[in-house]
Structure formats: C-alpha cells, structure tokens
Amino acid sequence: MAENHASAAARAADADDHQRPALCRSSFIPAYSDVNDDSLEGSAFRPLIVSVSGDSHSDDDRPFSGGGRVPVPPFSWRRLWLFTGPGLLMSVAFLDPGNLEGDLQAGAAAGDALLWLLLWTTAMGLLVQLLSARLGVATGRHLAELCRGGYPDWARRALWLMAEVAMVSADIQEVIGSAVAIRILSHGFMPLWAGVVITGLDCFIFLSLENYGVRKLEGLFAVLIATMALSFGWMFIETKPNGKDLIIGILVPKLSSRTIRQAVGLVGCVITPHNVFLHSALVQSRKIDPDNEHGVREALRYYTIESTVALVVPFMINLFVTTVFAKGFYGTKEAGNIGLENAGHYLQEKFGGEFFPILYIWGVGLLAAGTSSTITGTYAGQFIMSGFLNWKLKRWIRALITRSFAIVPTVAVALWFNTSDSALDVLNEWLNVLQSIQIPFALIPLITLVSKEEVMGVFKIGPRTQVCTPGAVFTLKIATWIIASVPIIANGYLLMDFFSSEMRGVLSGSVICVAVLVYASFLFYLIIRGMKLPNSSI
C-alpha cells in the first residue's frame, strides 16, 4: 500500500535493496494516513504526539539506503519520559483483585514455596505484553483491528465473543473487589451492591480526566499504583516475614502435589486476555508513523524499557501479598478458607496493627487495585468492541456500553451473593475458569500476527529478533511459543480438574465433552491458519 504513494526515486532505491522487506505490506492494514484521520470522537483517547524528528536528531527522516539497519540515537531520559505511561496502565492487570486473591491463596496454602513461580510468570507476562506493544507500534493498529482484517467473518465473531466473555468475567471480579473494599472501609455500612454502583460511577469520573489529556489519566494510575505499593508494603513490614525464607522461595524452585492447584492459579492469572488486546492499543497514545523504521525502532526501545520497569512494581506488590499470607496463615486451619471477601478480617484477627488497623490498610490497597483495573477494563472493552465490530461511536457512549456489560451482571451477582461469602468464592472460581478458557484466543492470534512479514514487515519476530538494542537478540519466536504453551497447558489441567469434579451424570458429561471438542477444534483451526506459508495472507 505504501508503495503506491512512493516516488520513482524511492522505488529505485527499493529495487537496489531488494532484500529489505517493506515495513507494512498487508492488504488488511490501512495506510498510516487512514489511521491518523480517525476523528477524535471515534478514538478511545487523544494521542500524545511524540515526534521522531527534532533538534537532537534532525536526520531521522532521511531516506533508507543500503541493506544496513537504521541506527537508533543514543538513550535519552527525556525521550523515555515521553514514552512513559502505557506500561503503567498495562501493569494494572497484574494487580487486579483476581491476582491478589491468587496471591493470598498461594501464600496461605504453599507458604513461600511458590515465589519463584511468581517471578517467572511475571517475566512470561512481560514477554507477551512486549509482543503486544510491538504489534501496535509496527502496524499502527491494535490486535482486535488486525483480527478483524485477518480472519474470516465467522472466526472474527467467535474471537470477539471470547474476548468479550473474558473482559466481562474479569470486570466482574474487579468491580466486586472494589465493592468489597468499600464495604470494609465503610465498616460494613455499604452493602455489596451499593459498592458496585459506586465503582461504576467513579470509573466514569476518572475516565473524564482523559479529556484533559492522556497524561492526566496516566498520572492517576501512577497515584493508584503508588497507593497499592504503600498499603501492601506497610502490611509486609508490619508482619515481619522471614528474610531467609523469602530469598529461598524466590531462588529455589519447589513444587509438590499439594500446591499444584495454587501454582496453576498463579500461572493462569498473570496473562489476562483483555490486557493483551489493551496494550497493543495503549502504545498508540504516542503518534508514531509505522512506515518510519527509525521512529518504530526508537518507540520499541523505550516501550521495552518502560514496560519492564512498570512490571517491577506489580511483582513486588504481589510478592508482598503472598508473603504476608504465607507468614500469617501457612499451615493453619484457616488456610483453606481464605478468599478475597474475608481476607481482611483474617488479617485483622492475626496481626491487628500498631498505628492503623491492618484491615483498613488492606481495604485501601484493594480499593486502589479494583478502581484502577476497572478503568483499564473499560478501555479494553472499548478497543475490543471498536476493533472487532468497527463501531465508530463517541467515547462516552462506547464507555457506557462497555460499562453496562459488566455493571449490570455484577449488580445482579452482588444482590444474589450479598449474604454468602462461600457462594461468592464459588463464583470467583467459575470466573477464573472462564478467563482461563479465553487465554489461547488472545495469545494465538497475537503470536500469529506478530510472526507474519506481510503484517509486521521488518519487525516480525523470527529466529533472531532485535529486542531492545542491536546486540540483544535471541530465539524469540521459539521462546514465545513455549511461553504461550505454558499457560495454555496449565489452564488445560485446571479446566480438566474443575470439570471432572463438576460432572453430574451422563447428560452433563456429554454436554461438557461436546463443548471441549468444539473448543479444541477452534484452537486447532487458529493454529493451522497461522502456520500457512509466509507470503500468504492470513
């Protein structure tokens, strides 16, 4: 597409350098000008313009020549600051109430034995998110839009349905987590359903900050993440965990039959489907021309640094939560009964608090986690809806529709389970299963698209792919498929274990078997379609 607008001189240069592939060849990716001509009402945010030409490197827009790689300018703290922001929003998915519940259950059931798994699953999640960012920067489109152009209509609608189910199930957990926090902080005055309504309304209030610039919204997330870090860090200090056990837990891999379920839960909750879609869109809050190789390489460099640093804080917070519950409840009779709903009360009974009751410290951290994750969930819902369905709506209308998908069922859930903590835990287990089922439907399209030359051009991943600097290369494609297979296999085990315990009679067993067959067939179709010849359109 870009070749149609090229000058005769540029075409001659490309003929001489026939080994360098075009930056963007795909027939279903619109030209860069089409992307930028979208109205602000139709986009989910107003992009922050980060120019790739300036006083410090005025030759950024020089034409390409020769077979060499375009050099990236020296590292600049100022440039890193301009690209800082999308990683903050992405990292919130590693801190949502579902993750916190997985952390506390892993700590209570396995002690510090699974901290090594927490470290490695966070690293796995980072690689997946970097691929999502790479896709968004190199194509100028996010994952849902590319799926709309790259798959037949029936497959696109199936992928959209799976993404919506994953988003809504995650959002229900996030909103309920916020409602639980509000009930804790109101000393039980606010019922669960009222907390759900408040969470839905405050999400719109916070999203309105984006009207004053995307930087304001990113600043809000920095405050919320700092609040979580302070709250859970305070809990960590108050409980005085054993430093030796902590270091051994991080460095020495240990896994037993008694902790396999908690281990699978940790793996499954790190990669959330809606976050994979979200990050490929968030990186476009900085306006980068995907046809400018220099600009794309610079953006990928700074986004890699920013995302890596952004995930250090969530790892530490998850470490704090796991360690606190390991110190307080590992090996006790309460360990098997702790869930998000009653965790604060168990903490209060166990530790109390010298200056502030630990119950309210937990409530503040949980509220920050729930609020931030519901905002990013709303953003993800907008991108998923507009990308798969190509809906061009005003931002507030699209946000209202997205919020309704989660708030309406969550209010019903809150009213139904308001008086039953155990029933709420059962609901959370089903919601985790729903999200586990959806993970392959985000990972397989992502890896397929980011591996295709006709989609990514010179930025496709392959046997040797540049990650951040010219010297940092490794077998990224193989590593990506291996890492993607880990949560898929882990969640397959979890689903088999869950459904085997839920089967009741021949009819229910037959229904589950048919559903599994359809599910596996669709996965097989997505994998086979992604294995077509490199020069074929997917």
Q: Three-state SS for 393?
A: coil
- How far apart are the two ends of the chain, measured CA to CA in Å? 17
How buried is 299 (Cβ within 10 angstroms: 0-12 exposed, 13-18 middle, 19+ buried)?
buried
Given a contact cutoff of 8 angstroms between Cβ atoms, the answer to whether 215 and 48 are in contact is: yes
* Domain assignment present for 297: yes
- Which two tokens mark 123? 């690293």
Ordered per-residue pLDDT tens for the chain, 538 residues: 444 444 444 344 344 333 334 444 444 444 333 333 343 344 555 555 555 443 334 333 333 333 445 566 788 888 899 899 899 999 998 988 888 888 888 898 888 989 998 998 898 889 899 999 999 999 989 999 999 888 889 999 999 988 888 888 888 888 888 888 998 898 878 888 888 888 877 766 766 766 677 788 888 889 999 999 999 999 998 888 888 889 999 998 888 777 777 777 777 677 788 899 999 999 988 888 888 888 888 899 999 999 999 999 999 999 999 999 999 888 888 887 888 878 888 888 888 766 678 888 999 999 999 888 888 888 888 888 888 888 776 666 766 776 676 677 777 766 776 555 556 666 776 777 677 778 888 889 998 899 888 888 888 886 555 444 444 434 566 777 777 777 777 767 766 766 666 666 677 667 777 877 888 888 888 888 876 644 444 4
The CATH number for 80's domain is: 1.20.1740.10
The reported pTM is 0.81
How buried is 119 (Cβ within 10 angstroms: 0-12 exposed, 13-18 middle, 19+ buried)?
middle
User: Could you give phi then psi for residue 48, rounded to 5 degrees?
Assistant: -85, 120
* Domain assignment present for 33: no
* Domain assignment present for 538: no
Rg (CA), the chain: 23
Q: Three-state SS for 517?
A: helix
* Domain assignment present for 13: no
Q: Which amino acid is at 12?
A: A
* Domain assignment present for 64: no
Long-range contacts of 463-469 (CB under 8 A, 24+ apart): 466/69, 466/297, 467/130, 467/304, 468/300, 468/301, 468/304, 468/305, 469/72, 469/301
* Domain assignment present for 144: yes
Domain count, the chain: 1
* Domain assignment present for 65: no
SS3 content of the chain, % helix, strand, coil (to 5): 75, 0, 25
Q: Which domain holds residue 474?
A: 73-532
* Domain assignment present for 526: yes
Task: Give one DSSP letter per residue of 394-462, joined into a string.
Answer: -HHHHHHHHHHHHHHHHHHHHHHHTT-HHHHHHHHHHHHHHHHHHTHHHHHHHHHHHT-HHHHGGG---
DSSP β-bridge partners for residue 286: 48
Q: Among 199, 152, 198, which Cα is nearest to 175's?
A: 199
Q: What separation in angstroms does the CA of 36 have from each of 39, 47, 127?
A: 8, 10, 28
